[in-house]
Amino acid sequence: MQINRYGPTFMIIFGTFSNILNICVLRERSLKKIPCTIYLCWSSISAIVFIWSGLLTRTLQGYNINWPNENQAPCKIRLYLLNISWAVAIWALVGANIDRFLCSHHSVIYRQLSTSQLAKRFLMGIFTFFAFVFIEIYYCVEAKVPNVPVACYGRNLPCRVINDWVYLGVDIILPSIIISIFGTLTIRNARLRIVRPITNLIHQITTTKNNIVLTRRNDRNLTHMLFIQVSFVFVLDLPFGIYRSYASLTANLPKSQYRVAIENLIYALIVLLVYFTHSTSFYIYTLTGKLYRATFERLRRHYFNLI
């Protein structure tokens, strides 16, 4: 009860503040035209929806207000929004990783694919795709389901297993595989480009050389930030997928009150861990990205001067 009362409340404030600051920095004039920042911005917007649609009901539950999980319409609408926003937040990071691969490639043809237009099309595509994929929630999810971690849950075992494997596959395993592949390719591209451009740059004028160096430095900054956040997200999201599968498979087994209490406590902690991973983007980027820190400092000085 205490965990549901204070933990989610803190996480809502912490995560909303972090993601709003992140959006403000990424929309700054010097960054907003970079395709990678469009992906990161969408990820933060989706994370805000994810945090509120998931944690508000847990906060209310801490005060014995359970009507959102005990009524069909709010239960299904909330889970529909939660699943779409979580998937978009994750796959926006996948898109950002692919963009880093394109930017780092030695071929001009690949680098020209890194555009704002392609980023927007990719994001609209994944949003539309997941909006259709999760329509099944309106059939599979019910309110007032007994013997499960939360009352708003899959109506029967097949629905629960399907939903849990969708969570595990779509939100954790498949994105992790794609990001690992493109992350490895990006590192390889970066090593190749350290050697290849040297002979071509010798005869270029100083201004052009400085512009190239600055662009690559910015690309390295964004890549470094992204890799750290992605690793952080997927390592801490994995326990949720594993526990949901366990909870669904053991839902019909007889359990003592002590075991139920322990499982509910573990589930509450794992849920907070998931939301924590999507609440820390601003802090991770501030700690790991020189370009991001410089942009944030510039914005801070600007707004303080206005005040």
Q: pLDDT tens for residues 62-81?
A: 788 888 888 899 999 999 99
The encoded tokens of residue 239 equal: 């326990």
Q: 83 versus 68: which is more confidently predicted? A: 83
Domain boundaries, the chain: 2-306
Q: pLDDT tens for residues 179-233?
A: 888 888 887 877 676 544 444 444 444 444 444 444 555 556 666 777 777 777 7
pLDDT at residue 306, as a whole number? 57
- CATH number assigned to the domain with residue range 2-306, chosen from the 4 options 3.90.850.10, 3.40.50.720, 1.20.1070.10, 3.40.630.30: 1.20.1070.10
**Rounded distance between C-alpha atoms, residue 106 and residue 110, angstroms:** 8
pLDDT at residue 2, as a whole number? 63
pLDDT at residue 274, as a whole number? 86
Q: Determine contact, residues 148/251, Cβ cutoff 8 Å.
A: yes
pLDDT at residue 205, as a whole number? 44
The encoded tokens of residue 172 equal: 């954790």
Contacts of 125 (CB under 8 A, 6+ apart): none
Element at 269 (helix H, strand E): helix 257-277
- Cα Rg of the chain (Å, integer): 22
φ and ψ of 154, to 5 deg: -60, 140
Assess whether pLDDT exceeds 90 at residue 8.
no
Q: Is 153 helix (H, G, I), strand (E, B) or coil?
A: strand
Q: pLDDT tens for residues 118-173?
A: 999 999 999 999 999 999 999 989 888 877 777 788 888 888 888 888 888 888 88
Q: Which of 88-97, 162-171, 257-266, 290-299 has the highest mean pLDDT?
A: 88-97
pLDDT at residue 304, as a whole number? 67
Burial class (CB in 10 A: 0-12, 13-18, 19+), 104: buried
Q: Quote the mean pLDDT of the chain.
A: 81
**Rounded distance between C-alpha atoms, residue 78 and residue 13, angstroms:** 19
**Rounded distance between C-alpha atoms, residue 161 and residue 167, angstroms:** 10
Assess whether pLDDT exceeds 60 at residue 24.
yes
